[in-house]
Chain A
Amino acid sequence: MNRKHKEPKGMPFAVKVLLTGVFGGLIWSCIWYVAYFFNFTDVGPALIWMAWALGDWTEQMVGQWTAVGIITVLSIGVAFLYRFVLVRVRGMWMGLLFGAVLWGLVFFVANPLFVELDPLFDMEGMTIVTTLCLFIMYGVFIGYSISYEYELLQFEKRG
């Protein structure tokens, strides 16, 4: 390779984690919104507004889309959490578990925080199934992406 040319390099790990968080949040909260739109679930992404009684607008399109934006930003934090705590675990199953635990945290442990959210046992079965499935896929997306990238980096360092 000619030395005068600049050698292009891949993205740094931290940037990848950040982008994984951003797109993970964006993709799955958009799908969540679609699922909400078609009444698969009674709560949409606007769930995060429910911590405060802010009025009706949160349930409408503005509220949902701003919630999508907030989830996208929050997901960066989620991605870095995974990166610092669980990154060494190989494969996708930890991501799946991570998503399920995250769902448990939001819908069960933190349930009383969300004023307008029904307690878990009063929720519609369909709402539970849909949100759980969404959180699992979200967890797999973030967890598997980050741990695979980490595994590749370790491999490249060694090889």
Chain B
Amino acid sequence: MMETNEAQTLTNSLQENEKIFHDRLNIDASFDVGMRKINVLGKEVQFYYVNSLNDEQIAIQVLRELMDLEKFNMETNSARETIENHIAHIQVDVTAEVDQCIFHLLSGLIFILIEGEHEAFIVDVRNYPGREPAEPDTERVTRGARDGYTENIIENAGLTRRRLRDERLRNEIVQVGVRSQTDIAVSYIDGIVDPDLVNIVKQELDKINIDSITMADKAVEEYILNQGWNPFPLVRFTERPDVAAAHLTEGHMLLMVDTSPTIMILPTTIFHHVQHAEEFRQSSAVGTFLRWIRFIGMLAAVFIVPFWLLLVLEPDLVPAGLDYIGVEDEGNVPIFAQMLIGELGVELIRMAAIHTSAPLGTALGFVAALLVGEIAIDVGLLTAEVILYVALGAVGIFASPSHELGVALKMVRLLFIFAVGIFTSYGYVIALTVVFILMVRMKPMNKPYLWPLLPFDPAAMWQIVARTGVPTMRLRPRIVDPKNVVRQTKP
């Protein structure tokens, strides 16, 4: 941790002030921290900057305006006032605190010291290296907005505000991390959001006392939600401003962490992870259809694979008329082991594909499909059915719009496979029940995770089962405990 400096203030002597900053910042050691001295109206003026975070053009403008004062030999009673009047920028702050100066300097602002003055002018000329808003890779849509959040919190706040001109939209900012001083914005709409929730989150943020949170939103999430060893995602991440804005108006709150393009939506239930922006870009019928296909895919991915394994291990369970379920040729390896090999293989391929660059990825695909798929059957290591069901499970998981939920479901499936492989049908039924009870028990941010399925809320469940038309959604979801329940009224 950093040693705490006592609140140092600037003095009237420019030499002393210069020494303070030279000592604390060691300006000669870093190539991107610097200082420029000029003479204005007979006084020495010092500019401190971090050129890697400054917009040089704006800084030069500010500098030129002050240099012009010198050129025209202006007469003045107060050099300080004249200089303050001639700082060519809209955002100028005055401070006497050394810590403030340094914090702003390292955020990309410049500060100006004047001979004989014990206060500094801080001018916002920052320009962070970053990219333009682009469509997020993991949340593509066929129609609709193509902008996505970036690594810049100010741009992100702007992308949200562009969609909500509500005067009650609040973007409260706090700094977390003693060294990193990372900006975290808590966004919500006053009058809709549950104020207790906002307070709890702000308190939790205040309690964080870490040196840096360079891993941004994920680190913050772990502080706020006490995830423990629970694999299920307790917050919804999104990179789409339209999704974030829609949730704001529903009464959710957002957490934006600077340097991360993913925004956290709180509070979240599991059903936030199975919906996709695409559904809301299609007609209700099509949206519902897409949603059901996804549900079936995800349920199949979790339940069918271990269930098939169970039917192979205990052929008595297979009902008459479905005798074709099972394996034709058992192969040389026990089916349970084959299943594990298959699962491991698919997971390895997926992981490898993420870390491989695109040209190599194609090659990887060939190797995976041909070698692992074809040849494993030919040599009798895996049977065709195992490959089929493992592939079915993998594809079903990919249908989950949330990567985090997908991985969690995969782990649950693996648990079921082990339960079936070791304890057969007892294992399956008991594992199902235990996982169900544990999921019912989950209450991130004091909201039941399986809501509205359990506790059952018929009206809200209908909105999950069907992608209802926007004109019919009259109420905000109760789960966020909105202060203003009514979303729209009947004409």
Contacts and interface: CB of A to CB of B under 8 A. Distances in A.
Given A141-B454, A145-B456, A8 B440 contact: no
User: Which of B437, B448, B456, B458 has the largest number of chain A CB atoms within 10 A?
Assistant: B456
Contact of B317 (A39, A96, A144, A152): A39
Nearest to A148: B455
Contact of A8 (B318, B425, B474): B474
Nearest to A96: B437
A144 B440 contact: yes
A52 interface: no
A75 to B, nearest CB: 12
User: Which of A7, A8, A136 has the largest number of chain B CB atoms within 10 A?
Assistant: A8
A53 interface: no
B380 to A, nearest CB: 29
B203 to A, nearest CB: 20
B316 A6 contact: no
Interface string A115-126: 000000000011
Contacts of A148: 448, 455
Contacts of B433: 133, 136-137
A133 B458 contact: no
Contact of A24 (B437, B456, B457, B486): B456
Of the four ranges (under 10, 10 to 19, 20 to 34, 35 or more), the interface on chain A belongs to: 20 to 34
B355 interface: no
Interface in A1-20: 1-2, 5-8, 10-11, 16, 19-20
Contact of B429 (A5, A8, A129): A129
Interface residues of B, number: 30
A73 interface: no
A7 to B, nearest CB: 6
B454 A10 contact: no
A8 B489 CA distance: 7
Contact of A1 (B311, B457, B486): B486
B37 interface: no
A133 B490 contact: no
Interface in B438-491: 440-441, 448, 454-459, 474-475, 478, 485-486, 489-491
B458 A140 contact: no
Contacts of A37: 319
B432 interface: yes
Contacts of A40: 317, 425, 429
B436 interface: yes
A10 B432 contact: no
Contacts of B489: 1-2, 5-8
A8 B458 contact: no
A129 B311 CA distance: 18
A84 interface: no
A122 B67 CA distance: 100
User: Which of B440, B455, B475, B489 has the largest number of chain A CB atoms within 10 A?
Assistant: B455
A65 interface: no
A35 B489 CA distance: 45
A130 B491 contact: no
A10 B441 CA distance: 25
A6 B490 contact: yes
B456 A10 contact: no
B426 interface: yes
28 contacts: A1-B489, A2-B489, A5-B489, A5-B491, A8-B474, A8-B475, A10-B478, A10-B485, A11-B458, A16-B456, A16-B458, A20-B456, A37-B319, A38-B311, A39-B317, A126-B429, A129-B426, A129-B429, A133-B429, A133-B433, A136-B437, A140-B454, A141-B454, A144-B448, A145-B457, A148-B455, A149-B455, A149-B457
The 5 closest A-B pairs by CB, nearest first: A5-B489, A148-B455, A145-B456, A133-B433, A8-B474
Interface of B: 311, 316-319, 425-426, 429-430, 432-433, 436-437, 440-441, 448, 454-459, 474-475, 478, 485-486, 489-491
